[in-house]
Homo-oligomer: A and B are copies of this chain.
Amino acid sequence: MTKGKTFIISGPSGVGKSTVLRELFRDREDLYFSISATTRQPREGEVDGVHYHFIDVDRFRQMIQEDAFLEYAEYVGNFYGTPKRFVDEAMEQGKDVILDIELQGAIQVTSKRPEVVRIFIAPPSWEALEKRLVGRGTDSADKIQKRLVRAKVELQNANTYDYFVINDTVEQAVREINAIMLAEHCKPSDRMDILN
């Protein structure tokens, strides 16, 4: 059995990443979505092991000591991190793993595992991203401007990613991510052993 690979999928707020990921995972038993560990309290309806692995601060600090995270960060007083264990188990089972993380996390993962493939989801244009953020109706004009500025910064760093998927239509974005995953399994390092 071929071992799975890990793929990071990043993208600015409002680019439609959640919709793309939902479509990507439809009917795909062979894909594993990495669930983060966090020290924050579960919210109403959140299930341990489904939305997050909820752990306490002592355990989180111990895991940092044990180098048990692929990446972690502190955000408004809580820790969030990607446990290595579940990622490695899924890959051993031949499953490809998707990490839904942002640029800083991607940098941390890459320093530990340079072989991880990084995909950046971008909007077809700035106008499209702005329209989408306005259309959601959840953010104030001020907040939308802040998100756009942050998206520009993220995009300036996106050339450090291996691939660049434009979310023009969800179908095309999913098709491209699937193509990238299949192509990455055609790298000689994966296949040279087949003819020994």
Mark A residues whose CB is within 8 Å of B.
119-120, 122-126, 155, 158-159, 161-166, 175-176, 178-180, 182-184, 186-192, 194-195
Most B C-beta atoms less than 10 A away, residue of A178, A180, A189: A180
Identical chains bound together, number: 2
Contact B186 A165, beta carbon cutoff 8 Å = yes
How far is B166's CA from A126's CA once the two chains are assembled, in angstroms?
41
Known: A125-B195, A195-B125, A195-B155. A164 touches B179 (CB 8 A): no
Contact B187 A164, beta carbon cutoff 8 Å = yes
Contacts of A183 in B (CB 8 A): 163, 176, 179-180, 182-184
How far is B161's CA from A190's CA once the two chains are assembled, in angstroms?
12
Interface SS of A by simple majority:
helix
Subset of 25 A-B contacts with CB under 8 Å: A119-B186, A122-B194, A124-B194, A125-B194, A155-B195, A158-B188, A161-B188, A163-B188, A164-B186, A164-B188, A164-B190, A164-B191, A164-B192, A165-B186, A166-B191, A166-B194, A176-B183, A176-B186, A178-B179, A179-B179, A179-B183, A180-B182, A180-B183, A180-B186, A183-B184
Chain B nearest CB from A66 CB (Å) reads: 35
How far is B188's CA from A122's CA once the two chains are assembled, in angstroms?
11
Contacts of A161 in B (CB 8 A): 188
